[in-house]
């Protein structure tokens, strides 16, 4: 036997770390097997057991789709998630971070559970965990909706039966006054006097940004990314069309109108 062939026959895949989900995994025959939280004794034992089973079966990995765990499902969804949720300029959207926080307790509580066994009771347990961590009702509802979205995606990828997502859909969002989750206070406008008080402490550019937000109600990113080529100055009222905005993926056009006061602020720039 040639040296290269002998080395290949003796090769044992190493334990790896999936940093996004904090899971240990090993790749066998091109397929990732997730083993639990990285650095734990459980993950180490699962690794050695998986390798032993792989060797005893002639280095053939199991292809039984029903064995996919919640951790593996999250890892696969994460690859899709980072590709899908991007701005028009290619940068990753903030929605990726939202999914990270939503899925973290799912992995912590049910990472080693088979995905097909993750039902409404599991989802309610995740929700109760969020309530105990003093998260707000609205935030929890949004997070649970994201968990459901992951399982819906998994059905479309034929990773799990449609019945799994159908069952999770039966878990309704929490209503105000009918749950133990805390409510958030309404966000009120900052008094104009408080805004004016910071003018002496900021640069002219920062003060211009603040004034433009006050006059146009534009989002901070929209003001920070404003370019001359994005502004139609042919009329008395200028029309700013941001190159990227929050609802662009819905096919919506975003137009921000700039009157005389805003125009005077922008002229020096």
Asked if residue 153 and residue 205 are part of one domain, the reply reads no
Pick the closest to residue 115 from 80, 167, 191 (CA basis).
Answer: 167
H helices within 65-160, ranges in order? 70-84, 95-110, 120-132, 137-156
Domain membership flag for residue 179: no
* pLDDT, tens digit, 9 for 90 and up, residues 182-223: 999 888 888 999 999 999 999 999 999 999 999 999 999 899
Question: Can you give the pLDDT at residue 247?
Answer: 58
The region of weakest confidence among 15-29, 64-78, 91-105, 224-238 is 64-78
Q: pLDDT over 90 for what percent of the chain?
A: 58
Question: Can you give the pLDDT at residue 239?
Answer: 96
Question: Can you give the pLDDT at residue 4?
Answer: 47
Question: Can you give the pLDDT at residue 5?
Answer: 47
Asked if residue 54 and residue 124 are part of one domain, the reply reads no
Structural domain ending residue among the three candidates 43, 63, 83: 63
User: How many domains are contained in the chain?
Assistant: 3
* pLDDT, tens digit, 9 for 90 and up, residues 31-44: 888 888 889 998 89
Domain membership flag for residue 163: yes
Asked if residue 243 and residue 202 are part of one domain, the reply reads yes
Domain membership flag for residue 4: no
pLDDT exceeds 50 at position 229: yes
Asked if residue 49 and residue 33 are part of one domain, the reply reads yes
Place of tokens 């211009």: 208
Pick the closest to residue 48 from 26, 21, 70, 79 (CA basis).
Answer: 26
Asked if residue 34 and residue 79 are part of one domain, the reply reads no
Asked if residue 57 and residue 79 are part of one domain, the reply reads no
Helix, strand, coil percentages in the chain from 3-state DSSP, rounded to 5: 50, 10, 35
pLDDT exceeds 70 at position 246: no
What average pLDDT does range 241-263 have in this prediction?
79
Task: Give the domain extent around 225.
Answer: 192-266
Asked if residue 251 and residue 206 are part of one domain, the reply reads yes
Name the β-bridge partners of 62: none
What average pLDDT does range 156-179 have in this prediction?
94
CATH (domain of 122): 1.10.150
Residues 6+ apart with CB under 8 A from 160: 68, 73, 115, 116, 151, 154
pLDDT exceeds 70 at position 66: no
Domain membership flag for residue 160: yes
Domain membership flag for residue 185: no
pLDDT exceeds 80 at position 89: no
Rounded to whole angstroms, the Cα distance separating 208 from 214 reads 10
Asked if residue 78 and residue 95 are part of one domain, the reply reads yes
Asked if residue 76 and residue 46 are part of one domain, the reply reads no
The beta strand positions in the chain, using DSSP E, are: 16-18, 23-28, 31-37, 231-232, 238-240, 256-258
Question: Can you give the pLDDT at residue 101?
Answer: 95
Asked if residue 41 and residue 90 are part of one domain, the reply reads no
Asked if residue 196 and residue 251 are part of one domain, the reply reads yes
Question: Can you give the pLDDT at residue 256?
Answer: 96
Asked if residue 219 and residue 137 are part of one domain, the reply reads no
pLDDT grade, residue 3 (50/70/90)? Answer: very low
Rounded to whole angstroms, the Cα distance separating 231 from 256 reads 9
Domain membership flag for residue 2: no
């Amino acid at each position: 036997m040639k040296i290269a062939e002998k080395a290949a026959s003796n090769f044992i895949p190493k334990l790896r770390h999936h940093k996004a989900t904090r899971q240990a995994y090993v790749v066998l025959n091109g397929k990732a097997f997730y083993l639990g939280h990285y650095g734990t004794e459980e993950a180490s034992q699962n690794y050695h057991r998986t390798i032993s089973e792989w060797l005893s079966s002639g280095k053939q990995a199991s292809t039984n789709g029903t064995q996919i765990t919640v951790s593996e499902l999250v890892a696969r969804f994460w690859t899709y998630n980072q590709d899908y949720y991007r701005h028009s300029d290619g940068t990753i959207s903030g929605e990726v971070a939202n999914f990270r926080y939503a899925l973290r307790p799912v992995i912590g509580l049910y990472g080693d559970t088979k995905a097909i066994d993750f039902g409404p009771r599991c989802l309610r347990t995740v929700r109760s965990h969020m309530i105990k961590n003093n998260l707000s009702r609205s935030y929890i509802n949004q997070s649970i909706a994201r968990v459901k979205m992951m399982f819906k995606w998994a059905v479309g990828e034929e990773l799990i039966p449609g019945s799994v997502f159908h069952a999770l859909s039966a878990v309704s969002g929490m209503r105000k006054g009918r749950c133990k989750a805390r409510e958030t206070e309404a966000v009120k406008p900052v008094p104009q006097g408080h805004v004016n008080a910071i003018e002496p402490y900021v640069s002219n550019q920062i003060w211009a940004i603040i004034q433009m937000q006050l006059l146009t109600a534009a989002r901070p990113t929209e003001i920070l990314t404003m370019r001359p080529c994005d502004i139609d100055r042919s009329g008395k009222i200028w029309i700013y069309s941001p190159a990227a905005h929050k609802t662009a993926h819905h096919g919506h056009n975003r137009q921000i109108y700039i009157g005389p006061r805003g125009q005077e602020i922008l002229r020096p720039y």
